[in-house]
Amino acid sequence: MTISETAGAGAPAQRSSRGRLDGKVAVVTGGGSGIGRSVVDRYVAEGARVVVLERDAQGAEELATHGDRVRVVVGDVREHETHARVVEEAVRVFGRLDVHLGNAGVYDYNERIERMPPEELSAAFGEVMDTNVLGLLLGARAAIPELRRTGGTLIFTASSSSTFAGGGGALYVASKHAVAGLVKQLAHELAPEIRVNAVAPGATRTALSGVAPLDSGSRRLADETGLLGAIERTVPLGFVSEPEDHSGIYVMLADHRDSRFMTGVMIASDGGLGVGRRPRRGDRGGI
Ligand SMILES: NC(=O)c1ccc[n+]([C@@H]2O[C@H](COP(=O)([O-])OP(=O)(O)OC[C@H]3O[C@@H](n4cnc5c(N)ncnc54)[C@H](O)[C@@H]3O)[C@@H](O)[C@H]2O)c1
């Protein structure tokens, strides 16, 4: 049976308008909030059907507004069995899998190494690394057989902290640098069948949380007005982004027609951090 014959299996009637992702099926981890939620909304608007893996029950419930175009599995990205269930759900309900986005993540709230209680360091390291790195590896491992079948693609949410220091503490920056390594290595291993790319956002107004061992499990980035204000003053484009500012890039990476010669790439969407801090008014630069 060809790919196009299987495309509609178990699906609701196709919508009449054409979207860039019509007929595609995607998995999005952490799709109940922030950047992931905005990708889910945009993928659906472009005609895709989506299975979301989300640990937060409320975020999962709110996805019901998408009706039968979105299925949700409530679970943890740190568990292999959960990823296997998500991929099975995509194939059972929607007939295939074209795009797997590893996006769920946690932050360390810029905790400096000297301020981390040494007895909590292993637990904090485990939570950040297991969520931000192992979670992506487990998702990729579960998705690869189906992506090989469809000539699909892996996408990760990296960060400006995949390139620069100072946007997080040692745990977050190390975890996001590891994501940059995963993009390169998996692109190398999985070519030519599966493309592997990432979007690297800079500061974005979301509910991004910290981790319990650093006492930041209930913090939300969007509430940190001091931190966000400082970022606005230094980022070259002069504002903190909203989740929707990045979602079109995820569409491009999911759409073979627009990115079929791209693999192993991390696309920055960070307000221009690569050109340095925004000069102050009257500051003519120089050394
Ligand atoms: N907000 C930013 O400034 C920013 C900047 C660069 C990169 N990022 C990255 O973007 C990604 C999405 O974060 P966001 O900012 O949208 O935050 P968010 O908290 O709004 O979204 C993250 C989602 O992942 C879920 N999640 C977290 N841990 C999970 C787990 N173990 N299992 C299942 N689901 C889990 C959360 O419940 C949440 O719904 C993360 O990888 C983050 O590192 C965020």
The neighbouring-strand residues paired with 52 are: 28, 72
Lowest mean pLDDT among 2-16, 160-174, 213-227: 2-16
| Residue 240 CA, closest ligand 1 atom number | 3
Kindly state the tokens that stand for 163. 């390139």
Indicate whether 13 belongs to any domain.
no
Which amino acid, one-letter code, is at 66?
A: H
pLDDT in tens, 69-101: 999 999 999 999 999 999 999 999 999 999 999
| Residue 172 CA, closest ligand 1 atom number | 43
Q: What is the CATH number of the domain that holds 105?
A: 3.40.50.720
Average confidence score pLDDT of the chain: 93
Q: How many structural domains comprise the chain?
A: 1
Indicate whether 246 belongs to any domain.
yes
Indicate whether 273 belongs to any domain.
no
pLDDT in tens, 177-229: 999 999 999 999 999 999 999 999 999 999 999 999 999 999 999 999 999 99
Question: Ligand 1: which residues within 6 Å by Cβ?
Answer: 30, 32-36, 53-56, 59, 76-78, 103-106, 131, 157, 159, 201, 203-204, 206-209, 221
Indicate whether 163 belongs to any domain.
yes
Cis peptide before 192 (omega within 30 of 0): yes
- Domain containing 129 equals 20-268
Indicate whether 101 belongs to any domain.
yes
CA distance 150 to 99: 9
Q: Which residue has the tokens 């295939």?
A: 96
CA distance 120 to 251: 39
Residues classed as catalytic: 172
Indicate whether 57 belongs to any domain.
yes
CA distance 53 to 110: 27
Residue 116 banded pLDDT, cuts 50, 70, 90: very high
Q: Which residue has the tokens 């007005």?
A: 225
**Cα–chain center distance at 55:** 14
Give the pLDDT of residue 46. 98
Give the pLDDT of residue 9. 37
Indicate whether 275 belongs to any domain.
no
CA distance 226 to 248: 29
Asked whether residue 3 carries a pLDDT value surpassing 50, the answer given is no
Lowest mean pLDDT among 16-30, 81-95, 137-151, 232-246: 16-30
Residue 58: count of CB within 10 angstroms of its CB:
9
What contacts 24+ positions apart, CB below 8 Å, involve 273-281?
Answer: 273/160, 273/163, 273/164, 273/202, 273/235, 273/236, 274/163, 275/236, 276/236, 277/234, 277/235, 277/236, 278/233, 278/234, 278/235, 278/236, 278/238
Question: What contacts 273, CB < 8 A, 6 or more positions away?
Answer: 160, 163, 164, 202, 235, 236
| Residue 32 CA, closest ligand 1 atom number | 39
What mean pLDDT do residues 150-175 have? 97
Asked whether residue 14 carries a pLDDT value surpassing 70, the answer given is no
Question: What separation in Å is there between the alpha carbon of 14 and the centre of ligand 1?
Answer: 31
- Tell me if 90 sits within 8 A of 124, measured CB to CB: no
Which amino acid, one-letter code, is at 234?
A: T
What mean pLDDT do residues 29-38 have? 98
3-state helix, strand, coil in the chain (%, to 5): 50, 15, 40
Indicate whether 146 belongs to any domain.
yes
Give the pLDDT of residue 144. 98
Strand bridging mode 70-74 / 99-102 = unpaired
Give the pLDDT of residue 280. 73
Q: Which of 173, 160, 159, 162 is nearest to 110 (CA)?
A: 173
Give the pLDDT of residue 7. 34
DSSP conformational letter for 100: E
pLDDT in tens, 222-263: 999 999 999 999 999 999 999 999 999 999 999 999 999 999
